[in-house]
Homo-oligomer: A and B are copies of this chain.
Amino acid sequence: MEAYLSAPSRPSVTLSEFSGRRVCQTKRNDSLLGARGRFAPGTWERVVLGRRGGSRTVSRLPQVRATATAGVSLVKPKQTGNAFADLCINSIRFLAVDAVEKANSGHPGAPMGQAPLAFTLWDKYLRFNPKNPNWVNRDRFVLSCGHGSMLQYALLYLYGYDQPTMDDIKTFCEFGSCATSHPENFLLPGVEVTTGPLGSGVAQAVGLAIAEAHLGAMFNTPEEKLIDHYTYFIMSDGCMQEGVAAEAASLAGHLGLGKLIGFFDDNKITYDGPTDLAFSEDVVSRFKSYNWQVISIADGNTDIDNISKAIEEAQKDLTRPSLIIVPTTIGFGSPKHANKRTAHGEPFGSDEVKATRENLGWKYAPFEVPEEVLKHCRRKIQEGARLEQEWNELLQRYKSKHPEQAALFERMVIRKEKSPGWEKALKDCAAKTGSMATRQVSGAMLNALAAVMPEIIGGSADLAPSNNTLLKGFGDFSRNNYKAKNMRFGVREAAMTAITAGIKLHNTGLFPYCATFLIFTDYARGMLRLAALSEAGITFITTHDSVALGEDGPTHQPIEHLASLRAMPNVYTFRPCDANECAAGYALSIRHDDKVVLLALTRQKTNKLETSSYDGALRGAYVVSDNSPAGKHPDVILIGTGSEVDVVVEAADQLRTSDALNVRVVSMPCMELFEDQDAAYQESVLPAAVPRSRRVVCEAASSFGWSKYADHFVCIDRFGASGKGPDLMKYFGITPSNVAKKAREAAGKGV
């Protein structure tokens, strides 16, 4: 049960029941402090302040004596006091309650608590065109706590988007519905980014805000601000605990992303129960320490006026991102579940749905939205059309004044066409690039691309000189230079990845990349997968791709990473052997806006092959050489990737010379891409007549997954070691002579 105290002497005091304890919150020194005590039912006495956050900000409040007066209701919680606003807010709440109830799945609690803040934001501030969810200059909205997806669906429905329809909402969570358990951008226009994994939305929102800042700096003039919008997100207690959100918030503060505005739905309940089981941060101080403006609302259930004021205050500070802390009640209005973990992931059951209706005075049938609410909200259809129309006029003015920039804007941002010349740039670069580490090749190609592709932007997680990812002459993206193209992500691989996905999902033609050592994709894996699922076709540059990196040892030497990335859907794991193949890797990424392309590059030098092929690499695998007589199949096939193509080429030379074997060498930079090819092409490279028993794979990595193509492996199925690269390659047996030995066995020629 929920109780509110109108205490004139303490206007911001809220009392509520909280897993058996009565909680008092009061605004003090700009931050919300929690005060807890035990109370007799209906009576509120001896409120003693408990610990919350840093010890410095915690102090003992004077004792408060409060009794259940007319202002306190244990049954009918106080709502906003604005009858029409309550009607709208409860429309959101009951769409969530009814949909979850019908689906017998989903999370009703969060939408019930977040409805007032979300309504305030969407109704008064969010700029969008419901009939064109892709309008370029719309505000972006991200629900980082994606399990409360019904909040977003209710908003999209009320405000006049074509999807979800009421039928979609009625089939919430059912197979085939676009109203899925978590918002999925690839199913539902109006959903900017996919969320669910906690914290991910915060980081993706930072990416959206970076894209906005960068495009604004690229295109805006003082008179024509073509790209000028806010990015809003809602984060939960769970998001607040995830490291990825901390990384992203720190970088956002560093970059001073003033148009990024977050709401912290501070309901103090996570899945396990009260947050104080595991969390007692002073969130206000923490976000201030990141250089955020922090604004605290006293009561997010009732105080929509202050939510409005907070949004306006947040909008005004263009030098810092803002976090608005909104204490809400999870499951607001449910007599049984409010403020309890049971509001989190359980449907209420029909009795409790009924009781909640009574408690909030909701007289409408399931899925019924009051006419006046719909009418009010759908004014946004006209408003949104007008906003877009005004923006179109702005674009026309811009075109007449800045025709060249406008042409770029239209091609890149509107039509999302890649800049012409990228393929020539890649091929030219490949042609003039000799034998060198593929990470160096990659650096040259990135710079070649940057010269012709203004849409490029990206960087590394503090390994730029090692990853060779710096774009020379393009500056460091910073609070003072949003036009610059080198992102400095800091040592924050997870946030980097989600931010890069967010830049891509801004869906304005940018071509973002990020980079780290291959091993440290492990830090980013959750966000990498989310990018792949979200069809955010980012380019992920990884270097130091095998034990050949040498001295840094097993903590830095990838073994299972290629396999584990190949196993991930919607990712092309691309391991080029030289410049021609590296160019193909970039081409693959430029061509596929909806696929993650991960390049695995060497630290050490590799040879440029005379017979390596851009076109062949773009089919995933191809024949590098074959000394079999015409019409005859080879005795053995040697398959290599990346730096190990050199190894199999040398092994093939040995076998052809010393053993008079017919040997085919296949380079397979991208297994997944090869599997996309038709059966005839696959057969032309790996004929069934040369079965797996006569094929050898060499890759300085786990053999896991290679059984599909060969029975013999020169691979590494254990952790690495410290030592010089060449010594390690020898120690782990990644040598031409070992490949040749296995090949002789495979060819039945003895050892």
Is A495 part of the binding interface, using a Cβ–Cβ cutoff of 8 Å?
yes
Is A270 part of the binding interface, using a Cβ–Cβ cutoff of 8 Å?
yes
Is A38 part of the binding interface, using a Cβ–Cβ cutoff of 8 Å?
no
Cα(A283)–Cα(B288), bound, Å: 11
Shortest distance between the CB of A458 and any CB in chain B (Å): 14
Cβ contact within 8 Å between B105 and A550 = yes
Q: A702-B567, A705-B705, A723-B175 are in contact. Are A289 and B281 (CB under 8 A)?
A: yes
Cα(A55)–Cα(B292), bound, Å: 8
Is A652 part of the binding interface, using a Cβ–Cβ cutoff of 8 Å?
no
Chain B's closest residue to A550 (CB) is: B105
Q: Which of A53, A283, A525 has the most CB of B within 10 A?
A: A525
**A507 / chain B contacts, CB cutoff of 8 Å:** none
Cβ contact within 8 Å between B283 and A289 = yes
Cα(A291)–Cα(B106), bound, Å: 34
Is A410 part of the binding interface, using a Cβ–Cβ cutoff of 8 Å?
no
- Residues of A participating in the B interface, judged by any CB pair closer than 8 Å: 51, 53-56, 103, 105-106, 146, 173-177, 180-182, 184, 194-199, 237-239, 241-247, 250-251, 253-254, 270-272, 275, 277-286, 288-292, 320, 460, 462-466, 476, 478, 488-492, 494-495, 519-520, 522-523, 525-526, 529-530, 532-533, 550-556, 559-560, 563-564, 566-570, 702, 704-705, 707-708, 717-719, 721-724, 727-728, 731
Q: Which of A198, A242, A279, A719 has the most CB of B within 10 A?
A: A242
Cβ contact within 8 Å between A290 and B286 = yes
Chain B's closest residue to A721 (CB) is: B175
Q: A106-B551, A465-B271 are in contact. Are A243 and B290 (CB under 8 A)?
A: no
**A279 / chain B contacts, CB cutoff of 8 Å:** 250, 254, 490
Cα(A492)–Cα(B526), bound, Å: 13
> Could you jot down 27 A-B contacts, CB within 8 Å?
A54-B289, A55-B320, A175-B722, A175-B727, A176-B723, A177-B722, A180-B722, A181-B553, A182-B553, A182-B555, A197-B555, A198-B491, A199-B491, A238-B462, A241-B250, A241-B490, A242-B491, A243-B243, A243-B494, A271-B462, A271-B463, A277-B478, A282-B291, A285-B286, A286-B286, A532-B719, A705-B707
Cβ contact within 8 Å between B553 and A180 = yes
Closest 3 CB pairs of A and B: A243-B243, A175-B723, A196-B555
Shortest distance between the CB of A322 and any CB in chain B (Å): 12
Cβ contact within 8 Å between B291 and A492 = no
Shortest distance between the CB of A238 and any CB in chain B (Å): 4
**A568 / chain B contacts, CB cutoff of 8 Å:** 559-560, 564
Shortest distance between the CB of A555 and any CB in chain B (Å): 3
Chain B's closest residue to A270 (CB) is: B462
**A520 / chain B contacts, CB cutoff of 8 Å:** 197, 526
**A551 / chain B contacts, CB cutoff of 8 Å:** 103, 105-106, 173, 181
Cα(A525)–Cα(B51), bound, Å: 33
Cα(A708)–Cα(B708), bound, Å: 7
Cβ contact within 8 Å between A196 and B55 = no
Cβ contact within 8 Å between B552 and A175 = no
Shortest distance between the CB of A511 and any CB in chain B (Å): 22
**A244 / chain B contacts, CB cutoff of 8 Å:** 243, 523
**A253 / chain B contacts, CB cutoff of 8 Å:** 280-281
Q: Which of A465, A532, A568 has the most CB of B within 10 A?
A: A568
Chain B's closest residue to A180 (CB) is: B722
Cβ contact within 8 Å between B722 and A238 = no
**A529 / chain B contacts, CB cutoff of 8 Å:** 522
**A246 / chain B contacts, CB cutoff of 8 Å:** 243, 246-247
Shortest distance between the CB of A345 and any CB in chain B (Å): 8
**A554 / chain B contacts, CB cutoff of 8 Å:** 184, 533
- Knowing that A241-B490, A243-B245, A494-B523 touch, tell me 11 more A-B residue pairs with CB under 8 angstroms: A54-B290, A174-B724, A181-B722, A182-B552, A197-B520, A250-B281, A278-B489, A281-B291, A282-B289, A525-B525, A559-B568
Chain B's closest residue to A247 (CB) is: B243
**A727 / chain B contacts, CB cutoff of 8 Å:** 175
Cα(A560)–Cα(B568), bound, Å: 5
**A292 / chain B contacts, CB cutoff of 8 Å:** 54
**A289 / chain B contacts, CB cutoff of 8 Å:** 53-54, 281-286, 289
Cβ contact within 8 Å between B526 and A523 = yes
Residue in B238, B492, B556 whose CB lies within 8 Å of A491:
B238
Shortest distance between the CB of A548 and any CB in chain B (Å): 13
